[in-house]
A and B are shown apart, each in its own frame.
Chain A
Amino acid sequence: MSENKIKKISLVQRKTTFKEVSLGFSKSQALVEAKRCLQCKNSPCVRACPVNIDIKEFIRRIVNKEYSGALNKIREKNNLGAVCGRVCPQEELCQRGCVLNKTKNPIKIGYLERFAADYGGRNEGRRTKDEERRMKDDKENIFCRSSFVRASETSSRPSCFGLKYKQKVAVVGSGPAGLVCAGELVKKGFSVEIFEALHKPGGVLVYGIPQFRLPKNIIDNEVSYIKSLGVKVHANFFVGKTKTITQLRGDGFSAFFIGVGAGAPLFLNIEGENLNGVYSANEFLTRINLMKAYLFPKYHTPVNVGKRVGVIGAGNVAFDCARSALRLGAKEVFIIYRRTRKEVPAREEVVENAKEEGIEFKFLTAPVQIISDGKGNVVGAVCIKNKLGFVDSSGRKSPVPIEGSEFRINLDTIVFAIGTSANPLFIQTVKGLVLTKRGYIEVDDNFQTSIPEIFAGGDIVSGSATVISAIQQGKVAAVSIEKYLKKES
């Protein structure tokens, strides 16, 4: 059993570099794990996966050492296998469905997915004749010869996907929802163009999740793959500002998928939040991940990380902030959370890794005021202790402040990782788009908005959620868009 424990890089490297922490399965480990799969007839794991990846089959192909074939199988349902293998909360999804939970040792499907994506992509040239034959029989053979060739913005469509339809679809946002929706639509035979506001595509995959959990070259590969399918990607293009939806309609786009994400920072509206040294998680992580502030001054974007860092919140994002702060020289890093360990929403793996790296926890604690040094810099926070009260709308016990329990924590950097809300910038440029009470885009079961040719998915519809959830929404939206455009033509 111990040989199937995932190897990680050394603790010293984890505290000082942004190298990927988990080394993933080796070939031999993957084989051992894949052989444990019982190949259950009714595959509860497949049903538990939000996009119904044929888990049983890709695992069987790993047993047969058909690594490219395994990746191909994953790609039938999920274009971002290497990403999901790393960041998907499999313990709550496919792995929870595994029958081997009975023996308290479910198949490590996540690590197998990561293995298939990493090895399958790398070992394309070493396919066996059987593997080739099996891949040809796959529902969609997605491995064009030009699969991993870096497709330029103006490359023509590869021969594997013809243009079945005359219509063009515009995908706004290149996060997981947009990337997947675009990939699905191009496979269905539409012309697809992605419009991305930032200078690099990937959305939260590239600005939000740190290098040590999700190396950026993986995103580059995934985006290259989607480009190789024939999708055109425009960076530095803010739909709503650079061109409006109306103008894009005039350019010949017949349908739109909005995947702009939920990114608007949330603060607590307490005194001192605008002091120097106080960040939203989005700013902190974007500086570090997208702008590579951890390589300052080679990369010119700065981020100031002091010696005592407090991160407010306990989701995956909060832990990403905390672990990044540690790597940037903080001596003490605290996760400050208003509930207890039991209610922590972050993945087990993430919390364990954080603990190993020396992150400390202050539970049942919430900041009520941020303290200044009189010169505009943060020097600490006044916090209050909580106790847990009745169960609230989120299904968790609500935190109740204990009167008179205020105390001070000395901190020189504070990061608010308490969630995000709907970014109004794009939304306000589309007249007639109906929103939910909380400002997200309202859609029906087909992810169609109040404007017939506009569909939406991902965080801008559901609020900040998982990558796999965004992928699932992107896929359903692609099916709906095809239905809609078929009717319209």
Chain B
Amino acid sequence: MKIIDKQIIGKDKNARIVQIKVYSPLIAGQFRAGQFVIIMVSRESERIPLTIADSDIKTGAVTIIFQELGYSTKLLGSLRKGRSLYALSGPLGNPADISNYGKVLVVGGGVGIAEVYPVVKALAENGCRITAVLGARTKSLLILKDQIRGYCEKTFITTDDGTIGKRGFITDVLKETLKKNSDFNLVYCVGPVVMMRKVAEMTKVYSIKTKVSLNAIMLDGTGMCGSCRVKLGNKTKLCCVDGPDFNAHCVDFDQLLLRQDRFLEKEKLIKKIFKQ
């Protein structure tokens, strides 16, 4: 559970995207694209889920890429190389469906690009022909584009402020892309919930099978508590047992958005108390 490498791979005045490599040979050997780990930074920490971006069986390391958003991710991002995590368990969640879908459209927004990356690799290795649409607020937050490009037939880059690639929201670029060519058998999308909701609305019009990876608040991560429950159609499912990937056209994104904020007050309080 030692951090054997740490790099800041994305940064602007408000945010940092951190990449750490953690020594965990069991998880490295077992991981499949789409799965996540549950991490505790210290004994007092929360248990938080973070997607595994990559693994290296030779070094026994798993790569985790995360954005410093709340108290726990900031605490994780403050750890230096050589420090050990208090707890690391996984790989959890169902592996992504990486069958040969032929032509696949992959959409990654913000730090969601890190979550899309392992799936892109796996899909490409299974023969899929991938078009990627990657978007971020600004150039310095647009991560992994060269790594992902290598696996794709076409890659579109967009930034809100136009500092790299096309200027505009990722969903606008997606609209254009689909207008020109909607001949995809699968859309795989990870990003902010609002973005995934919009993408789902768009692909529904074209009736393209769409999967999203949901980041509901978790506690144990093993199906015991129901904290990560999401509404799928008229059923309730658990992200940790039934997901994290789900059929985007059945997900109740509005409910997910509301549930994501349920500890906002406590989050504000702890940030204030520890003056982050």
Contacts and interface: CB of A to CB of B under 8 A. Distances in A.
Q: Of B223, B236, B240, B273, which is in contact with the most chain A CB atoms at under 10 Å from its CB?
A: B223
Interface string A265-303: 101010001101101101100110001100011111110
B147 interface: no
Nearest to A376: B258
A237 interface: yes
A304 interface: yes
Interface residues of B, number: 44
B255 A376 contact: yes
B255 to A, nearest CB: 6
Contacts of B269: 297
A301 B87 CA distance: 15
Contacts of A276: 258-259, 261-262
A280 B220 CA distance: 13
A431 interface: no
A238 interface: yes
Using C-beta atoms within 8 Å of the partner chain, give the interface range for chain A: 35 or more
Interface in A407-431: 423-425
Contacts of B265: 304
A382 interface: no
B2 to A, nearest CB: 14
B236 A267 contact: yes
Contacts of B72: 300
Given A242-B26, A243-B26, A375-B258, A197 B222 contact: yes
A263 B224 contact: yes
A241 B30 contact: yes
Contacts of A376: 255, 258-259, 261-262
Contacts of A242: 26-27, 30, 89-91
A304 B266 contact: yes
A104 to B, nearest CB: 42
Nearest to A426: B222
Interface string A50-94: 000000000000000000000000000000000000000000000
A314 to B, nearest CB: 20
Contacts of B160: none
A177 B46 CA distance: 27
Contact of A274 (B87, B220, B259, B267): B259
Contacts of B236: 267, 269, 273-274
Contacts of A273: 236
Contacts of A435: none
Interface of chain B, main secondary structure: mixed
Given A299-B44, A300-B45, A375-B258, A238 B92 contact: yes
A11 interface: no
B241 interface: yes
B139 interface: no
B228 to A, nearest CB: 10
B167 interface: no
Q: Taking each of A269, A279, A302, which has the highest tally of chain B beta carbons within 10 Å of its own beta carbon?
A: A302
Contact of B231 (A241, A274, A279, A280): A274
A280 B225 contact: yes
B263 A237 contact: no
A448 to B, nearest CB: 25
A425 B241 contact: yes
B47 interface: yes
Contacts of B192: none
A433 interface: no
Nearest to B273: A297
Interface of A is mostly: loop
A287 B219 contact: yes
Given A299-B44, A302-B263, A274 B223 contact: no
Interface string B243-274: 00000000000010011011101110110011
A361 B32 CA distance: 49
B261 to A, nearest CB: 8
B255 A297 contact: no
Interface string A211-244: 0000000000000000000000001111001110
A265 B222 CA distance: 11
Contacts of B266: 296-297, 302, 304
B40 A199 contact: yes
Interface string B70-106: 0110000000000000111111100000000000000
A276 B262 CA distance: 6
A425 B223 contact: yes
B263 A424 contact: no
Contact of B274 (A241, A263, A297): A297
Interface string B21-33: 0000011001000
Contact of B226 (A283, A304, A424): A283
Interface in A309-329: none
B92 A291 contact: no
A296 B47 CA distance: 14
A103 to B, nearest CB: 45
Interface string A184-227: 00000000000001110000000100000000000000000000
A237 B270 contact: no
B70 to A, nearest CB: 10
Contacts of A241: 30, 90-92
Given A291-B219, A301-B46, A423-B241, 16 more contacts: A197-B220, A199-B86, A236-B89, A237-B26, A263-B224, A269-B236, A273-B236, A274-B236, A274-B259, A282-B224, A283-B226, A287-B219, A300-B45, A300-B270, A423-B222, A425-B240
15 contacts: A267-B226, A274-B230, A279-B226, A283-B226, A291-B46, A292-B44, A296-B266, A297-B269, A298-B44, A299-B44, A300-B46, A301-B45, A301-B219, A302-B263, A304-B263
A-B complex: 6 closest residue pairs judged by Cβ atoms: A376-B258, A302-B266, A283-B225, A236-B89, A199-B87, A276-B262
Interface of B: 26-27, 30, 40, 44-47, 71-72, 86-92, 219-220, 222-227, 229-231, 236, 240-241, 255, 258-259, 261-263, 265-267, 269-270, 273-274
